Every structure is written in C-alpha cells, then in structure tokens.
Amino acid sequence: MTGFWDSGDVSAAERRQRRMEEARRRVESGENSPPPPTPAAPAAATRSRTTRAPRAATVDPVSVADAQYAVWRSVQHFCLSDSLPDASGRNLDLLIAWSDTIQPFRLRPRIVARLDSDGAWLPVCYAKDGARDPITQAQAERYRDARVEGAGLSGGAQKPLKETDHPESTVAL
C-alpha cells in the first residue's frame, strides 16, 4: 500500500471515476448547493456616528461688504507688526490671483487679511496657487495676536527675516 486511498484492487482511474460520480450525485440532489440565504434581519435603529469634536470654525473672507484686503508673502511676514503688505485692494479674488506674481511656485501660502473697523488686520484666508485656502478662526486670532504683540509663532524655529525680504511699497489693486 502506497497511500490512504490505495485498496489494491481498484485502479486510480476507477477511484477518480467514483469520486466524480459521488460529486455529481451530490450536486443533483442539492447537497453541494449553498444554504438558502438567511432572512433579512428587521431594520434595527441605525447606530449614530460617534460624536466627534466639532471642526474648527473657518473665517468667512467675504462676510464684510466693501472691505479692504491685503496680502503678505507669508504668515511670518504678516506677524511682524511693522511689515507692509505686498498688495491691497477691495477685490479679494483679484488680490489672490495677483499674489502668485509675488513669488511663483512658493511652498508656503501667502496670507490675506481684512482691515477691520479698529484699523487692525484680521487674517481671512491663505492664497495658494491663485485660490483661497480656508483659515480657522483660531489660526486667524493667533496670527493677529502675534502681529499686535510682536510675539514669534514658532518659538524661533524660522530664520529671522532680513530687511530685503520685505516689499518696499504696497501695490494698490
């Protein structure tokens, strides 16, 4: 005997034929068919999604009608209280489109701010690749506070700006 199925008097071809006949019989009798589908469970109340922390509120850049806007080269430029914006104007979309001419293919987005009634600049969005990127209310307040108080944002991780890094004048659009 060389294997489990060896019976000595039956050839391998005959054993294969018997297995095929047994399989055919099971298929025809329904033994090999899958079980019938289980009835659908009654519609139970769906689980509500877990409550996540609410997303940070974003600033609406056009919430004030006829506002004055300005764009800076970066957040670092904006946070320096004595830095001039690169451009200013009343048309937000034109200002954002123009901002790509400051330094094309810039990795850091430029920042756009709106002049409020107190004469302070409030960041309203980023300008990147000619489009608006939203800014959260918390970021806007942090940047405004850094500009007013003169505090650094990243604890000194950024290189200080040189005098030549700032625009000499603001372009009116």
Q: Is it the case that residue 21 has pLDDT exceeding 60?
A: yes
pLDDT at 88: 93
Between residues 157 and 144, which one has the greater pLDDT?
144
b/e burial code for range 60-69 (CB count within 10 A of at least 16 → b): ebeeeeebeb
Share of residues in the chain with pLDDT > 90 (%): 16
Whole-number pLDDT of residue 109: 81
Whether pLDDT at 6 is above 60: no
- Gap between the Cα atoms of 113 and 128, Å rounded: 14
Q: How far is CA 107 from the centre of its chain?
A: 16
Per domain, the residue ranges of the chain are 69-172
pTM of the full predicted structure?
Answer: 0.62
The alpha-carbon radius of gyration of the chain (Å, integer) is: 36
What residue type is assigned to position 137 of the chain?
Q
Secondary structure string (H, E, C) spanning 149-166? HCCCCCCCCCCCCCHHHC
At residue 120's C-alpha, the angle toward residues 112 and 87, to 5°, is 35
More confident residue, 45 or 69: 69
Q: How many H helices and E strands in the chain?
A: 4, 6
pLDDT at residue 47 tops 80: no
